A and B are shown apart, each in its own frame.
Chain A
Amino acid sequence: MIRGLIQTVFLLIVLSILTGCNSAPVPPEVSEAEQQQLGLWKAGAEIYMPAEYKTYKRSLRDGQLHLLSRNQRFAWFRNYKDIKLEFTNILAQGKVLEAKVNEHKRIISGNIANQIAFFQNRIETLRKLASLINEGRLSSRALTKAELQLAEICVLSERQCYTDAEKKLKGMSMYTEQAANSILPILNRYTDNAKITKWRNWVNEAVEASKRRQSYSIVVSKVDKRLYLYKSGRSYKTYEIGLGTNGSHDKLYAGDKATPEGKYQVIKKVPGSRFYRALLINYPNEDDRRQFAIAKKKGLIPQRAAIGGLIEIHGGGKRGMTYGCVAMEDHHIDELFRIVDVGTPVTIVGAIEYENSVTSAMKEL
């Protein structure tokens, strides 16, 4: 009896060794889930959906542990039905997570694209505004840095490295603000209604005088980069002009390269000027002297500074570099030179209209 039992057990052991692991195969869902997990990791599930990814990974790990434990069973008694079901559920969980990750990435990428467009537009507007007032030198450095940073953000976004792109986007405002702050004090001059009202009054007076005296009057608008010639109170000719670096400021002292604003007149016609032909105006006038004294008293200008002079409307080309003068194309100054005489009023203002090119460009900021 005992001998028979021992023989049976022995036979069973020998059989099991011979048959080896001849049990049911591990369900394919197991390796599918492992591949899925790798795919989710690559897609950034850990970054974009950390909590859900952690839950998913816990489920996968539980499943893997269950599979391990099942594999320890004697081959004949191994059954993977419940393991298959468990991994099917894990795959379904992974698919839901994958959809969520993709949706999240779609939203982030959309937000990043919007922000890129916003900053591109802001940089473009700031460049345009700086160019309007001839002050690219003040803002270009910061804007170049902003453009470089934006280029990096675009590359990161293309590579779907959204977290890095978002981090860099946070630093963008610093550069654009820096650029804006460098030119805003100048731009604000052209949006200041009180200033524009004062300038409009000067222009009206100049036009009125031209009408009253049946003579010519010159009006220069800095923001429009135009010289308007009035004849008997009516617009007669318009010329494009150029101003120098810092020309958008009101002149305070010699060497500040600013173009004066005020009511002047032609005091000399210079036919053989260094800049082709020139109309010398009577800067500084009484008002300029008063402003200069105040600025000096307040310490706004160097104590040794002189008030300057020799402000002209001259040729040499409107793109020419001037140090406070008004530059014109040679054929335009030729014409103007022939028309106007000494004594012709010259009114230089920042802007004539409340809605000017600066105010409209600033709306885009």
Chain B
Amino acid sequence: MNKKRIIYLALGVMILALLLGCSKKPEQELTDSKAVLEAVAAEGGEKYAKEELNVIQSEMTAAQDEMAVQDGKFFKNYDKTKEMLTQVKAKAEALQAELPARKEKAKTDAQAALDAATMAVADAKALLAKAPRGKGSMADLEAFNADVQGLETALTEVQGLMTSEDYFVALDKANGIKDKAAGISTQITEALEKVKAAKKR
């Protein structure tokens, strides 16, 4: 009889242990995941990986929800929470590792656009410089000169954007400058050709 009681007690303890499972709250996993996510945001995640960051943040919320549910239970089981947090951390770390390359690509693209824009403005300026002064379309040339001055001011703004690491804005602005400078060069060439044609007549 005594022996039977011991067996029942042991069985009861086993069942209880099974139901309680791994009841240790994954505080460390939570802190680690949060830290990686914060680092991703601080390192430009919002700028260079907005969509992925948003997905991971949603998964983090889901993990926290799962943890809150377990917190409220008598028989706590944080296995799933742990698994979710581990996944969040792994994804965030992978994204964090990718950020420098994305940032570098944005920087390289913006710099290339800025170089092209600078060259286009220099071309327009060179065309203006070799245009005959005095007789000729002086008023037009002065207007073009003011156009080029406007482009040069805009180029310095792009430099500022590069310094503040606003590469996407810098890229768009530089592309706009390049197109406008090319347009001005075409107009200058056309104006000069008109003057030449008039002289021949």
- Answer whether A and B are interacting partners: yes
Residues on A lying within 8 angstroms of B by beta carbon are: 6, 10, 13, 34, 37-38, 41-42, 61, 64-65, 68-69, 72, 130-131, 134-145, 147-148, 151-152, 155-156, 244-245, 316-317, 319-321
**Can you list 6 residue pairs at the A/B interface with Cβ under 8 Å?**
A38-B58, A41-B54, A244-B138, A316-B135, A317-B135, A321-B135
A148 to B175, alpha carbons, bound, how many Å? 9
B173 is an interface residue with CB less than 8 A from chain A: yes
Distance to closest chain A CB from B86 (angstroms): 18
Taking CB atoms, residues of chain A closer than 8 Å to B142 are 136-137, 245
Q: Are B154 and A145 in contact (CB under 8 A)?
A: yes
Q: Are A244 and B139 in contact (CB under 8 A)?
A: yes
Taking CB atoms, residues of chain A closer than 8 Å to B69 are 65, 68-69, 72
A72 to B120, alpha carbons, bound, how many Å? 66
B15 is an interface residue with CB less than 8 A from chain A: yes
Which residues between 169 and 201 of chain B lie within 8 Å of chain A, taking CB atoms? 172-173, 175-177, 179-180, 194-195, 198-199
Q: Are A148 and B176 in contact (CB under 8 A)?
A: yes
B32 is an interface residue with CB less than 8 A from chain A: no
Nearest opposing residue in chain B for A317, CB measure: B198
Nearest opposing residue in chain A for B198, CB measure: A317
Nearest opposing residue in chain B for A34, CB measure: B58
Nearest opposing residue in chain A for B199, CB measure: A317
B146 is an interface residue with CB less than 8 A from chain A: yes
A143 to B142, alpha carbons, bound, how many Å? 14
Told that A34-B58, A319-B198 touch, could you supply 4 new A-B pairs with CB distance under 8 A?
Answer: A137-B145, A141-B147, A144-B147, A245-B142
- Chain A interface helix/strand/loop/mixed: helix
A317 to B136, alpha carbons, bound, how many Å? 8
A131 to B61, alpha carbons, bound, how many Å? 61
Total interface residues on B, CB under 8 Å, equals: 43
Nearest opposing residue in chain B for A322, CB measure: B138
Taking CB atoms, residues of chain A closer than 8 Å to B180 are 144, 147-148, 151
Known A-B contacts A68-B65, A152-B176, A245-B138; A136 and B198 likewise in contact (beta carbons under 8 Å): no
Q: Are B146 and A136 in contact (CB under 8 A)?
A: yes
A156 to B169, alpha carbons, bound, how many Å? 10
A147 to B55, alpha carbons, bound, how many Å? 38
Nearest opposing residue in chain A for B148, CB measure: A144
Taking CB atoms, residues of chain B closer than 8 Å to A134 are 139
Taking CB atoms, residues of chain A closer than 8 Å to B11 are 10
B149 is an interface residue with CB less than 8 A from chain A: yes
Nearest opposing residue in chain A for B73, CB measure: A72
A212 to B145, alpha carbons, bound, how many Å? 49
A151 to B142, alpha carbons, bound, how many Å? 23
Known A-B contacts A72-B73, A137-B139; A38 and B55 likewise in contact (beta carbons under 8 Å): yes
A226 to B146, alpha carbons, bound, how many Å? 27
Taking CB atoms, residues of chain A closer than 8 Å to B1 are none
Nearest opposing residue in chain A for B176, CB measure: A151
A136 to B138, alpha carbons, bound, how many Å? 11
